[in-house]
Structure formats: structure tokens, C-alpha cells
Amino acid sequence: MTRLVYPKIYVLSRRPSSGCKYFEVRETEGMYYAYCKVLDRPLPKTVVPKCEKLWEGCPFRRLAARMEE
């Protein structure tokens, strides 16, 4: 039996994509999940569309970008 590494709330059936440089796509057993390098945790699938469309306004991204300056 295949063991699911991440719970269902994280698993995506399509490969996500975002302009945010802290957004990472990880793949496990043919499924995808998104990972935020600022928060240092996987992103629930309900949050992923925001990272895809509204990433420029994301407060976490802004904070991380500011700290890199």
C-alpha cells in the first residue's frame, strides 16, 4: 500500500506555479505540494491559489524580501 507522506490538505493534482521566489513545488509519488520557504512549511491547497495570483502582495514575501536587503 502506498503511504501518503503529506495529509490530503496539502496534496495538489496539478503542478502549481507562482512568481514568488519563496514558493517551491515539491513532488511525491506523482503528486505535488507547495512549500513556502519563508514560513518553512508546506502550504495547504486552499492557500496555493493566493500564492499563485496574489504573491506580490503577500506580507510574508515582503518581510522576507526586506530582510534580504
Q: Which residue has the cell 513556502?
A: 36
Q: What is the DSSP letter of 42?
A: E
Positions 19 through 48 that interact with ligand SF4 (CB under 6 A): 20, 22-23, 36, 38-39
Minimum distance from residue 69 beta carbon to ligand SF4 (Å): 16
Which secondary-structure segment (H or E) carries 23?
Answer: strand 23-28
Q: Which of 10, 33, 42, 51 binds ligand SF4 (CB under 6 A)?
A: 51
- Our CB check for ligand SF4 shows the closer of 1 and 11 to be 11
34-59 core/surface letters (b: 16 or more CB in 10 A; e: else): bbbebeeebbebeebeebeeebeebe
10 interacts with ligand SF4 by CB under 6 A = no
- Which residues bind to ligand SF4, rule: CB under 6 A? 20, 22-23, 36, 38-39, 51, 55, 58, 60-61
